[in-house]
Amino acid sequence: MTAPNPRIVAKGVCKSFAAPVLRDVGLEIPPGCIHGLVGENGAGKTTLAKIIVGLEGADAGSLLLDGQPYRPTNTADSLGAGVAICAQELSLVDDLSIAENILLHISTSSWARIRRNSTHEKAWTLLDLVGLESANSRSRVGKLSLAEKQLVEIAKTLATDAKLLVLDEPTSALTAPQAERLHGILRDKARDGVTVIYISHRLGDVLNVCDRVSVLRDGKVRLTEDCGALSEKALIREMAGADADFEAPRRSAESPAPLHLSVDGLRTSKLPHAINFNCRRGELLGIAGLAGSGRTELLNAIFGLDKRLAGSVKIHEDGRTTEVRNPRQAIRCGIGLVAEDRSRDGVFRDQTLGFNVTVAGLGRISDRTGRLVRSKEASAVGKLIDALRVRSNGVHQKMRELSGGNQQKSMLARWLHCGSRLLLLDEPTRGVDVAAKLAIHEELVRLRNSGITVIAVSSELEELQSLCDRILVLSKRVLVAEFHRSDWSQQEILAAAFSEYAREDEPTSVAVP
Amino acid sequence: MTLERRHLAIETGFRVIRVLEDNLIFVSLLAIVAFFGVISDSFLSLTTLSTLFNQLPALTVVSIGMTLVLISGGIDLSVGSVVALSAGVIGAGISLFGLPLPLAACLGILAGALAGLANGGLGAYLRLPIFIVTLGMLEVARGLAYLVTDSQTVYIGAKIQAFAIPWGGSGVSASILVALTLVVAFEFLLRSTIFGRQIVAVGSNESAAEISGIDPRRVRCTVLVISGLLAGLGGLMNAAYLGSADPNAGIGLELSAIAAAVIGGTSLMGGRGSVIGAFVGVLIVSVLQIGLAQIGITEPTKRVITGAVIILAVILDRWRA
């Protein structure tokens, strides 16, 4: 190879949070190359991008930028070195104008005087470039739609004149023509020698715009090849991995159980397409889909957290049918929700383990007057933390002192305490270690066998495949497929998860709250 | 043998330190009392006690409400003005309209509860920032207090003072007994009832509380109503102590109540606090005021010292947590 010196080289990059996210990742990208990065949720794409721009530090390994050692510790470092990111989570200030947001990113000193006219001129050119003609550069970012915000974020990144651009899901909210326009800009940039790292779930886009593509799976680079030689199918196969068809046949033969939950024509502002499905008593139902495909929103809608625009959620029990309208009623109907973001929507970290377990079922540890009975509390909580093997120094230990896995088990304990018969679990094993994960899996199977219905969302297909009786697949907020244990393969499920994103003709409609 | 004994001594020492640490505010209160007792000959006397008991009731009941509101993650800046409004309603009711005392007292307390309901409705149900809502109520209630009293101190008379005058030489009045009972009752409410748990849950993590089936709006609104009601009772206590309704009563009382709650270990972030603690906080602030006055410290210096003690309490609290 007589190629010029690579723009960026990554060697042996490793990173762990609770579990390893990146393992010995190596990449080499020359100037003027658009390099795609694809993989399932949690494959490590975003983490790698964050390491390259200094938002995360690598545990091991090294980066070279134009042959020089490169170790950014924040985005100011990486910007100074000519590396800019267009992040997945938008980093715009709603109360500033479009122009000011762009300036915020490129101003050289915190004390530099803001020169209005020149700022607006530069912003105007860039907005023109990305196709935001209609927007006045002086209007407030808070008033823009999600797609427009994403375009501003892209313009902001382009404004830096960086030599290495990292784009993490830049087109997730864009329509096909808007995305195509961006791709044209990227090709122009590449011709000028700028290197682009392009992360996307839209495999068609990746094959269309990129020169080369790498597939990440379980934190490792599985494949790096020129795009010309690849098809979407080949990418999906590589993302799913060789062990894609593994089977965990440890279910007993299904006996027809009575209907427990029925969801009919359910729509919320975050789920614009009507959703229909049923769930039987004692079923372990999985919900698969890419990040942002509406999985969390579906659980929240069932639980009554989001306002329902149409349709119904009904619980069938003891010959009676109850419609679920809000969280308090959902709980009375025996539904429990373990939210994805445990620290935000789950634990009371400064309170005790006992408090956390009993909070949803205080009526069960009190007498008729509403007075709490300590002895009832201690025995109820003690039984549950023994049964679920929550490791703690007792019911009075502060929740924040417990490990992630034990916190998660006590979230299960909370719903078991108040007698839930239908558990909605959003990423029940996220951020817990391997041992705790196995323990939670065992517990879920045990609950299921005792007649409790479980609906679990997970980004790990293997997890759903080994646990569930049935898997529903969401793609871009549409319920696209249903797979039974007897007839699923990881490739089919993944293909279903990508299916709505592949339909270029339809503009992505993302509801703005 | 000696080694064992030394170990035992060290262990006992640690245990004593642990106990002192766990009960830091009680220890601080005792230390302050001891300090003034040593410095001033007249401090440990019945006069001091009755001065203390005169000041105590209104601030105590207001601080109970404030503590509950703070634990739920809110704040109530209007309590000082509500005290004046309630006193004004009672004074006007008796002197201008000739209402019987019990009825006037009930109306005063009711006025406080209504102010709390307005705070709760606007802050919890309309989701307006509670700081601003109660800041507005601070002005509104003060204005109403001036309106009902025609901006003048309304003389009520000896009848109402019976509530505040100590029995015999004991220094103990009906006022103080009511305040103490409420401290115990609300500590019980907070620690040992479903509603108390719900207050802590909402202040600790509102989103998690909602998912756990608690209605955060109802809880927030209820504690604000309780706070208004207790401020109304504070107005009755204030009028009883003075024998008249002063529209300027309770100015700055909200700050003293917040200070007492914080000294007592209540977190301004919500989710943590204690009513007993707030009462000890009230005692610390009051004893400090009286003690400093007795040893001849001037008013400006008193304020400097009291302010410093509040900040010190927060530092100690942070260091322990």
CATH of the domain at A277: 3.40.50.300
pLDDT value of position A110: 57
Contact criterion met (CB below 8 Å) for A364 and A416: no
Instruction: Identify the domain containing residue A49 by its residue range.
Output: 8-240
Whether residue A454 lies inside any domain: the answer is yes
Whether residue A299 lies inside any domain: the answer is yes
Say whether A355 and B192 touch across the interface (CB within 8 A): no
Say whether both A185 and A227 belong to one domain: yes
Say whether both A265 and A221 belong to one domain: no
CA distance B279 to B295: 24
Say whether A347 and B211 touch across the interface (CB within 8 A): no
Say whether both A262 and A235 belong to one domain: no
Out of A209, A240, A271, a domain closes at A240
> Average pLDDT for residues A194-219, to the nearest whole number?
90
Say whether both A161 and A236 belong to one domain: yes
Check pLDDT > 50 for residue A245: no
Which residue's structure tokens are 């789920």? A271
Say whether both A147 and A119 belong to one domain: yes
Contact criterion met (CB below 8 Å) for A64 and A26: no
Whether residue B10 lies inside any domain: the answer is no
Q: Spell out which residues of chain A touch residue B187, defining contact as CB-CB under 8 Å.
A: none
CA distance A56 to A21: 12
Contact criterion met (CB below 8 Å) for A9 and A33: no
Q: Is B192 on the interface with A (CB under 8 A)?
A: yes
Say whether both A68 and A203 belong to one domain: yes
Check pLDDT > 50 for residue A510: no
Say whether B212 and A366 touch across the interface (CB within 8 A): no
Say whether B215 and A363 touch across the interface (CB within 8 A): no
Out of A240, A275, A294, a domain closes at A240
Q: What are the structure tokens assigned to A10, written together?
A: 């990554």
Give the Cβ contact number of residue A309 at 10 Å: 15
Say whether both A84 and A198 belong to one domain: yes
CA distance B314 to B312: 5
CA distances from A482 to A65, A127, A440, A492, B151 (A): 46, 42, 24, 11, 74
pLDDT value of position A247: 39
Q: Which of B194, B204, B207 sits opposite A372 (nearest CB)?
A: B194
Say whether A359 and B197 touch across the interface (CB within 8 A): yes
pLDDT value of position A333: 93
How many structural domains are present in chain B? 1
Whether residue A361 lies inside any domain: the answer is no
CA distance B219 to B134: 17
CA distance A173 to A171: 6
Contact criterion met (CB below 8 Å) for A97 and A140: yes
Q: Spell out which residues of chain A touch residue B72, defining contact as CB-CB under 8 Å.
A: none
Whether residue A56 lies inside any domain: the answer is yes
pLDDT digits (tens, 9 = 90+) for A268-325: 998 999 999 999 999 999 999 887 789 999 999 999 998 899 999 999 998 899 999 9
Whether residue B4 lies inside any domain: the answer is no
Name the residue of chain A whose CA is nearest to B203's CA: A348
Whether residue A392 lies inside any domain: the answer is no
Whether residue B40 lies inside any domain: the answer is yes
Check pLDDT > 50 for residue A399: yes
Contact criterion met (CB below 8 Å) for A497 and A478: no
The 3-state DSSP composition of chain B as helix, strand, coil percent (nearest 5) reads 75, 0, 20
Confidence class of residue A242 from pLDDT cuts 50, 70 and 90?
low
Instruction: Identify the domain containing residue B185 by its residue range.
Output: 28-320
Check pLDDT > 50 for residue A453: yes
Q: Report ipTM (2 d.p.).
A: 0.87
Whether residue B240 lies inside any domain: the answer is yes
Chain mean pLDDT for chain A: 85
CB-defined contacts A:B, below 8 A: 71
CA distances from B12 to B2, B18, B92 (A): 15, 10, 61
Say whether both A147 and A191 belong to one domain: yes
pLDDT value of position B246: 95
Dihedral (C-alpha) B257, B260, B264, B270: value to the nearest 10 degrees?
30
Whether residue A511 lies inside any domain: the answer is yes
CATH number of B92's domain: 1.10.3470
Q: Is A371 on the interface with B (CB under 8 A)?
A: yes
pLDDT value of position B40: 87
Name the residue of chain A whose CA is nearest to B204's CA: A348
pLDDT digits (tens, 9 = 90+) for A475-508: 989 999 999 988 888 889 988 988 888 775 444 4
Q: Spell out which residues of chain A touch residue B208, defining contact as CB-CB under 8 Å.
A: 339, 344-348
pLDDT value of position A509: 46
pLDDT value of position A504: 55
How many structural domains are present in chain A? 2
pLDDT value of position B46: 82
Say whether both A167 and A65 belong to one domain: yes
Dihedral (C-alpha) B118, B120, B125, B129: value to the nearest 10 degrees?
100
Nearest 5°: phi and psi at A250?
-120, 25
Which residue's structure tokens are 């009904």? A314
Q: Which of B194, B205, B213 sits opposite A327 (nearest CB)?
A: B213
Say whether both A97 and A33 belong to one domain: yes
Q: Which of B194, B198, B200 sits opposite A351 (nearest CB)?
A: B200
pLDDT digits (tens, 9 = 90+) for A336-370: 999 988 888 999 999 999 999 999 999 999 998 88
Contact criterion met (CB below 8 Å) for A152 and A102: yes
Q: Spell out which residues of chain B touch residue A370, defining contact as CB-CB under 8 Å.
A: 193-195
Q: Spell out which residues of chain A touch residue B198, defining contact as CB-CB under 8 Å.
A: 362
Task: List the pLDDT tens digit at each of the 321 positions of chain B.
Answer: 577 788 888 888 888 887 777 788 888 899 999 999 998 888 888 888 888 888 899 999 999 999 999 999 999 999 999 999 999 999 999 998 999 999 999 999 999 999 999 999 999 999 999 999 999 999 999 999 999 999 999 999 888 888 888 887 677 889 999 999 999 999 999 999 999 999 999 999 999 999 999 999 999 999 999 999 999 999 999 999 999 999 999 999 999 999 999 999 899 899 999 999 999 999 999 999 999 998 889 999 999 998 998 898 888 877 766
> Average pLDDT for residues A213-236, to the nearest whole number?
87
Handedness of CA A214, A216, A219, A220 (dihedral sign): negative
Contact criterion met (CB below 8 Å) for B246 and B142: no
Whether residue A416 lies inside any domain: the answer is no
CA distances from B34 to A173, B38, B44, B220, B280 (A): 69, 6, 9, 40, 15
Q: What predicted TM-score, i.e. pTM, was given to this entire model?
A: 0.80
Q: Considering only A56-60, A85-89, B94-98, B158-162, which range has the smallest mean pLDDT? A: A85-89
Say whether both A196 and A274 belong to one domain: no
Out of A213, A240, A267, a domain closes at A240
User: How many angstroms separate the CA of residue B129 from the nearest CA in chain A?
Assistant: 19
What SS3 state is found at A246?
A: coil
Q: What are the structure tokens assigned to A119, written together?
A: 């700022």
CA distance B21 to B27: 8
pLDDT value of position A507: 47
Whether residue B11 lies inside any domain: the answer is no
Check pLDDT > 60 for residue A254: no
Confidence class of residue A1 from pLDDT cuts 50, 70 and 90?
very low
Whether residue A199 lies inside any domain: the answer is yes
Check pLDDT > 80 for residue A152: yes
What DSSP element (H or E) covers A171? Answer: none
Query: Best mutation site among A303, A325, A359, A415 for testing chain B: the one with the most B CBs within 10 Å?
Result: A359
Strand arrangement, sheet containing A308-317? A271-280, A259-268, A308-317, A320-323
Whether residue B287 lies inside any domain: the answer is yes
- Which among A503, A502, A40 is positioned nearest to A288, based on CA atoms? A40
pLDDT value of position A104: 75
Give the Cβ contact number of residue A475 at 10 Å: 23
Whether residue B261 lies inside any domain: the answer is yes
Percentage with pLDDT > 70 across chain A: 90
Say whether A345 and B204 touch across the interface (CB within 8 A): no
Check pLDDT > 60 for residue A216: yes
Q: Spell out which residues of chain B touch residue A331, defining contact as CB-CB under 8 Å.
A: 212-213
Q: Is B214 on the interface with A (CB under 8 A)?
A: yes
Check pLDDT > 70 for residue A111: no
Say whether B194 and A331 touch across the interface (CB within 8 A): no
